[in-house]
Structure 1
């Protein structure tokens, strides 16, 4: 459920009309619902009730400071994958002991930054990283808390570009080598082993791959404890999918996921960490765009809108589906027709949908892309020298611009011309 609903034929975000925001900030823009963000965070938090746990929002999904602060005030920790994300989390008021640092390519400067500022744990991805982390921690007179990410070789049955738990993926160490690598870690004085980390992919719509992976983690936990390691924390990653197509069957609920975690891992007495991103932010956001032209082509009509692939790259990058709806609700029984919905970027890939059935639209009409709160604004670029679009946060009957659209002068003046020109 989200808080983007029609009222008297007009689309609202909570208690604010989308058309009112469009008039104030111009199109295209992103808009997020505070109520939806909090509802989805609470759904995960409640799903793990009865287990010692921490929900660490995977901020790569949407790292706007206002979104982070909203979730932090609700009790969320943060999962970060770069120095920039770490500093964003700290700026939003998240204490170091609620920040988990993931990612395969942590640099010495990033490790040093997190050790200086405080960190809950590093999720270590490789033996070379473990050796560097040990050396940096010892040079600073510190001990770095770590989990080691194991790759369980489980097919998440998701898009190839967001699968992370198969043997050919770059993430983690093979689970078959885990005991050997944990033995190496235990011998390093700059490291403290606190648990195990696993993450098999994103946008999973079936609990079976999770369960298979967690069963392997449960077995590994028992083995590592028998080897003398203190395994008190299990980081289970994120990945639970959201319903991008409202007509399709809904993915499993967080309550179903929580029950499965309890069944497979509850007997171990470990603290559970999960790192949802998409499920918290995805359906909490829309991208709103205006129709520039309706173009009749050979055998098809095109809706040319002012939003483009640089604003929302998921369809071009992942062949991703987003439901697209008019901001003014079509009358019941209104005739629909197929459109190719495209942006103005000079790429054939700047196509959001092909032959999508929509009510008849005209230049000046507004459309909204559902489920655009995750991996939308954070993946945007200024390709074709198009300005990054505004982000807006709604709270009840209020809205605020939480990232403004830069001017063209600001964009151009970021470039520096060498003195010889």
Structure 2
């Protein structure tokens, strides 16, 4: 898990002395160092999945590191373009590409799309023809997996992402002269921590994908493996082995004889750089359990309710008291507002702050911020020893109408 360095801890402590609402802080120095390790290779082209964290400062840091950008909505596109990034460095993913959205992307200069259906292929052709342009297209393939492999994006479950090989078999690529079918896209697993298991899944998909490309008479130049590389959320979980990942990808690239391998990293790129800092409202004992009630909950950080997996948590101040198990709850009037079970010092009280780690990805923008009309959290960046407020807290009187 990410380590709270002394300078960052001091910065967070200083911020807590001047406010009483939860906030996020992102360590951009740590992020830059991590991204440098990821980009020092020539095996795979890296895209950043903007859904993980669309904050301008985070996007700018990824841009400086040499990443391109995977966007899944018109709003994400505008956010990326607002940072001065060329639309030619954007890949449009996402299952719901309407005719209107396709038109918006083409008008802004995007020319690379992942098609999720036969309808989308037809709509992309029509739009490209109207614009008198050629588009690069990847077909997203959904494979069924043996042994009941399960994960947030499908495994062997039916999802809205792409089509099966049989369904894509109805496509005649010559019917779409404005579309250059450069490759295939597949991504059906999330937050994988075992490099060998991920390599095994990739290996299982090679033959059916190559067979589909031959059937469709596609000159396969790109194979997009999506993301799925995980970060540890619980004590004892390993970090995924990036060198092993690269060796596996190099093997697949040689095996398939394709020009480019692509991956869209979100959580693995930015997850470990972020912290959610949350004040304690009270500690209480209930039916033999120790409970902590916090000022912020799934209105700011929804993932524990969605995945039943908590972000790691620690007490901000130092304590020599024995640790005991607590269940952590936010302020919302629903039992869903549960932030996990954690071992924390028994002397924790209403003046303390709890720091949740691994929050650089799937934090605030994945939350349900308006329920019960609480204040929206501020966001800070830490860079070169300085703290800067990127977005101040937003109170209900400023967002309710």
Relative to the length of structure 1, the TM-score reads 0.88
Match of residue 41 from structure 1: 35
Residue 387 of structure 2: which of 384, 393, 399 is its match? 399
**1:229 Cα deviation (Å)?**
2.4
* Distance in 1, Cα, partners of 2:33 & 2:169: 39
Matches within 5 A, 1:303-314: 303-314=292-303
The corresponding residue for 2:291 is 302
Q: Deviations over 1:336-392 (max 9, x none)?
A: 1222211111111111123x3211201111110111111111112211111221111
| Aligned residue number for residue 418 of structure 1 | none
Cα deviation, residue 210, structure 1: 4.5
**Aligned partners of 2:3, 2:280: CA distance in 1, in Å?**
24
| Structural RMSD (CA) | 2.2
Q: Does 1:175 align with 2:165?
A: yes
1:359 aligns with 345
1:386 aligns with 2:381: no
Q: How does 1:7-406 map to 2 (within 5 A)?
A: 7=6, 12-13=7-8, 16-24=10-18, 26-46=20-40, 49-51=41-43, 53-154=44-145, 160=151, 162-181=152-171, 184-207=172-195, 208-217=197-206, 220-221=209-210, 224=213, 228-245=217-234, 247-267=235-255, 268-331=257-320, 334-354=321-341, 356-360=342-346, 361-380=348-367, 381-406=369-394
Kept after mapping to 2: 8 A contact 1:195/1:233: yes
> CA separation in 1, counterparts of 2:378 and 2:106?
34
Contact 1:154–1:209 at 8 Å: present in 2 too? no
Counterpart contact for 2:138–2:184, Cα < 8 Å: yes
Q: How far off is 1:193 after superposition?
A: 0.8
**Structure 2 CA distance, aligned partners of 1:215 and 1:341?**
41
Distance (whole Å) between structure 1 residues aligned to residue 262 and residue 282 of structure 2: 48
Could you tell me how far apart the structure 1 residues matched to 2:79 and 2:173 are? 30
Q: CA deviation at 1:77?
A: 0.6
Q: Distance in 2 between matches of 1:303 and 1:366?
A: 11
| Separation in 1, partners of 2:148, 2:50 | 23
Equivalent position SS for 2:336: coil
Which residue in 2 is equivalent to 1:419?
A: none
Equivalent pair of 1:31/1:393 in contact (CA under 8 Å): yes
Cα deviation for residue 177 of structure 1 reads 4.3
Question: Closer, same or farther in 2 for the Cα pair 1:398/1:254, shift >3 Å?
Answer: same
5+ long unaligned stretches in structure 1: 416-421
* Secondary structure class of the residue paired with 2:223: strand
Partners of 1:156 and 1:317 in 2: how far apart?
A: 24
Q: What CA distance in whole angstroms lies between the structure 2 residues aligned with 1:88 and 1:157?
A: 38
Alpha carbons 2:149, 2:155 under 8 Å: kept: no
SS at match of 1:13: helix
Alignment check: 8 A CA contact 2:2 2:357 kept: no
Provide the aligned length of Structure 1 versus Structure 2.
397
Q: Is the 8 A contact 1:196 1:235 kept in 2?
A: yes
Distance 2:373 2:148 in 1: 37
Cα offset, 1:104, TM superposition? 0.9
Shift of 1:157: 7.5
CA contact (8 A) 1:186 1:193 kept: no
Deviation at 1:225, TM superposition (A): 5.2
> What TM-score do the two structures reach when normalised by structure 2?
0.92
